[in-house]
Structures are given as structure tokens and as C-alpha cells.
Amino acid sequence: MPDAYIPRSDHRRSGPGARIQRPDRWNRPEARLLSPRSRIYRSVPVSGDVLAAARVLLAWDGTAYGGWQLQPNVETVQGAVERVLAQLMDRDRVIARAAGRLDAGVHAEAQVVSFAVMSRRTTRELFRGMNGLLPDDIACLALSSAADGYDPRRENCGKTYRYRFLVRENRCPFRRTRCWHLGRALDLESMRRAARWLLGAHDFTSFRASGCTALHPVRMIRSIELDLVGDEVHLVVHGNAFLRYQVRIMAGCLAEVGLGRQPPEWMGAVLAAADRNRAARTAPAHGLTLERVHFWSALDWEHGEDPGARSMRADVPSFALGNR
């Protein structure tokens, strides 16, 4: 049986560079507390029917949350999920890791989250328990066991986001937390011409918010779709990774073109400038939804289902292949 987790503060050393000495009592199968002080779970021994890790597919309405990541004095999705997991597994904290961070007010239709398990509960019990305890605006769509140490942030190969513009004159109270109300029609053809400048691998500094912690601003945009859906215009962006606020700044710039305030070629100038001040305003968060996290192989689920399951698209919209 692999060794149980050892808190860094309890490492025993006999001298500089000496090997860590693990007390025998921490290697016993019956040991349930991974730290004698904190009971915060990070890694577990695999024994009998005890799961090593699990992954879940979550959907949430981001209106009431300050984003995914834990923040002081702010309710977040991660905080709500971890409280439920801690309750189910009788721990002070169970750390949940998502495939990517989402900002305050942004929604998710299919976010993949993993967590380590130190419990005799079955995957079925965890699935039912999460849906029974999570708040109404967060749902566990599917759950499955996973390899110890599984991290969806490292394993995914891309994400798809959808941004919704409401283009009718009157506001819609039922979509006020789902769409950016512009109140007038957008020139779709001009927006599509502008979007071509964003396809491929580029330095997206102009579309990067301050405070972004990414190591570099180069990102690959694989496809961009712009369609009229009833009285809404939908912007769907698929890429390998995104900078902070990148999709929302792209949406803000495309809105400027669609409203006739800028020509399509302006997008190329903004991109080449590598200057955030050259781009348009950041579109409101409530219009953005994480629609899909892509993996090289389709994820299988033991309980529940992925209602929007589909393989990563290899095709690119026809307008994305045209000349600039």
C-alpha cells in the first residue's frame, strides 16, 4: 500500500539532505486522518474499496458567485463545492480542482472538476450526495472515479465558450443574467470579417486583462462562430487556452464592429498593437458561458450523463478560412 500523505511540517530529518522518515503509524491502513493537525486531504493510500480520486461534471449559474476560485469574504463555486465534499467525507476540507477558472458572474454548462477521496462512500453515493447538498444554482451532472492525482487543468486540450448578445430593442427580464442587451441589430458579416483576424496563434496582449497570471500571452484560437439565434447573436469561441477576460474583450471588440463603430480591419490593428488600451471595453460577465472542456479522449461517466457530449470538433466554420 502506498504511503499516506505526510504534512510538510511533520517531516523528520536527521540532518541536512537526510531522507524523510515516515512514522509507522501513518502507514497503517486504518489511518484516516492524513494530518494530525489539519485533516485537510490532498493524497490518500489506495486500499480496498476506498477511492483514490473522482471527477465530476458540474453546471452552475454564476450570478451569485465571485467566480470559481476561493476568495476571502466572497462566496465562490469552489467554496460551495468543497463544503459539500467535506460534509460527505467528514473532513475539514476536500480540495477541488477545476479544468479552468471562471470569473465572477460567468456561467458553466459543463465544467470538469476533480477531487481526492478518503471515504468508504461509493461513486453512486457521492453523486447522489452532491446533488442533494449542493445549492440549487449548482448541479452535479455526472461523476466517475479517476486516477490518483488526476488534474483536469493539465489533462484538457481546449475549451469552448459561448457569448450571447440580445439584439432586440426591448430588454428581456428572463435573460438579464444570460445576455448582454445591446438593443439593436448587429452587422454579422462585418463581425465575421473582423473575427478572421483572431484565428490561429497570436500574441493576445491586447485582449489580456490586468492581473492576468499567464506566463505568456500567446494563445491558439481554433474556431470562431457568429450566428443569429432568434433575437440573439451568439459568439462561440474554441481555443486551446485563454487569458483572463480574453473572450469577453473579444466580444466587446466584435460588438464595436457589429454596431458600425469600427471597421472589420480595426480588429487586426488592435491585435498587432499588443496594447490593452487599443481594444474595446470588456463585455459584461453575465453573457459568457463555459460550454465545453475538451479532452483528447472522450470522458466516460459512471453516474449521470453529459447532456452536451460531443468530440472535439476538427472542422472550422467556412468564414474562418477566407482571406482577410
Planar angle of CA 28, 5, 29, nearest 5 degrees: 20
Show the cell assigned to 115: 477531487
Q: For helices 246-258 and 188-195, give the axis angle rounded to 10 degrees.
A: 140
Q: How far is CA 249 from CA 163, 278, 300, in A?
A: 11, 11, 34
Q: Pick the closest to residue 41 from 155, 130, 156, 148 (CA basis).
A: 148
Q: Is 260 left (phi over 0), alpha (psi -120 to 50) or beta?
A: left
Q: Label the pairing between strands 96-98 and 232-239.
A: unpaired
- Beta strands of 61-101 (E only): which ranges? 93-94, 96-98
Q: Pick the closest to residue 285 from 160, 107, 100 (CA basis).
A: 107
Q: For helices 188-195 and 266-273, give the axis angle rounded to 10 degrees.
A: 30
- Residue 103 designated active-site: yes
In angstroms and rounded to an integer, the radius of gyration of the C-alpha atoms of the chain is: 23
CB-based contact 126:50 (threshold 8 Å): no
Active-site annotation holder among 92, 103, 187, 227: 103
Cell 485533516 -> residue: 39
Nearby residues of 290 by Cβ (< 8 Å), 6 or more positions away: 100, 102, 106, 107, 108, 109, 110, 111, 159, 160, 161
Residues with active-site annotation: 103
